[in-house]
Amino acid sequence: MPSEFGLIRQYFTRPSADSGVLLGVGDDAALLAPPVGEVLAATVDTLVAGRHFPEATSPAAIAHKALAVNLSDLAAMGATPRWFLLALTLPEASEAFLSEFAAALFALADAAGIALVGGDTTRGPLAISITALGSVPPAQALRRSGARPGDGIYVSGTVGDAGLGLREALTPGETGLSAAQAAYVRNRLDYPQPRLALGTALRGRATACLDISDGLAQDLGHILTASGVGAVLDLEALPLSPALRALPEREAWRLALTAGDDYELCFTLPDGLTPPVSPDGVAVTRIGTVTAAPGLALRCRGERVEEELSGYRHF
């Protein structure tokens, strides 16, 4: 069995071409230099087996998701990914697990332009904690607190897919989906796509932004609270995939509003301002309007809808 340092050298040490990495993996701490005129955006997320992903999830999917959720936080701030640190807790140092995990981790890291600069490994129940650092001009950083009455509310991609994917993972074949639909929603659960290009394109345009990790309604509520405003959502405008549209309408809406793990961006724009075309081609849909009256109101085809909503609970 490899030692901790042998494991790090074998699977997680690579030369970095990033001029901002003055000292990377191998010392007590990394030395990093952000671009001149930019500030650091820092985020951390922990994924625990059986809590954040099913026990049978593949090492590749675990690695991708662990990094993707952090990249999604950087996207929500309009930040450019720079560096990340990995804390990996493993029941055993399985070479098969580590080989697949590291390959998927670096595949996404390379695609996002982010470099691994340090971390830690230890024995214990499977858990992955990643701290990601990005940079952004301070005046262009996206926040949750700038939404104003009259702003349009938008989301990227489609919502609710990961929640349906979790159902399919826990009760295979019982969702009534076709094989293709089941594969699609499982992929959305296991391999979320951080909307980095869209986040950068929203700099200087969005009045507020966050990523959808705990459910659209709950996460939008954070924008409303931080901004001191309310909102009206049009349920018929929710962007749903064909897999969600195969469900009864109200069930599809509930998943779209309450299921977590979509990692799409939810943002507000001044009324009349056209949303940017995302460089990666992801669709953007207007789903409602910010109001002066507090609270989140739902309507469908002009009629008010009463619905008790909640999102993912961490405890």
Residues of each annotated binding site? 28, 43, 45, 52, 73, 119-120, 144, 211, 213-214, 261, 312
Q: Which residues are annotated as a binding site for ATP?
A: 119-120, 144, 213
> 175-203: string of b/e by CB count within 10 Å (b at 16+)?
bebeeebbebbbebbbbbbbbbbbbbbbb
In the chain, DSSP finds a helix count (H) and a strand count (E) of: 9, 13
Residues 185 and 163: their CA atoms lie apart, in Å, by: 8
Residues 259 and 301: their CA atoms lie apart, in Å, by: 23
Q: Which residues are annotated as a binding site for Mg(2+)?
A: 28, 43, 45, 73, 120, 211, 214
Residues contacting 92, CB < 8 A, separation 6+:
1, 123
Q: Which residues are annotated as a binding site for substrate?
A: 52, 261, 312
- Closest-CA residue to 195 (of 166, 164, 159, 168): 159
Residue 171 near residue 235, CB atoms below 8 Å = no
Alpha carbon of 19 to those of 12, 123, 160, 303: distances in Å?
A: 19, 33, 40, 56
HSE (CB half, 13 Å, CA atoms) of 77?
Answer: 22
Residues 182 and 177: their CA atoms lie apart, in Å, by: 6
- Residue count of the chain, please give it: 315
- Closest-CA residue to 296 (of 310, 279, 282): 310
- Closest-CA residue to 156 (of 267, 31, 19): 267
Going by their DSSP bridges, the two strands 208-211 and 265-269 should be labelled as antiparallel
* 235, two tokens: 């349920």
Residues 7 and 120: their CA atoms lie apart, in Å, by: 10
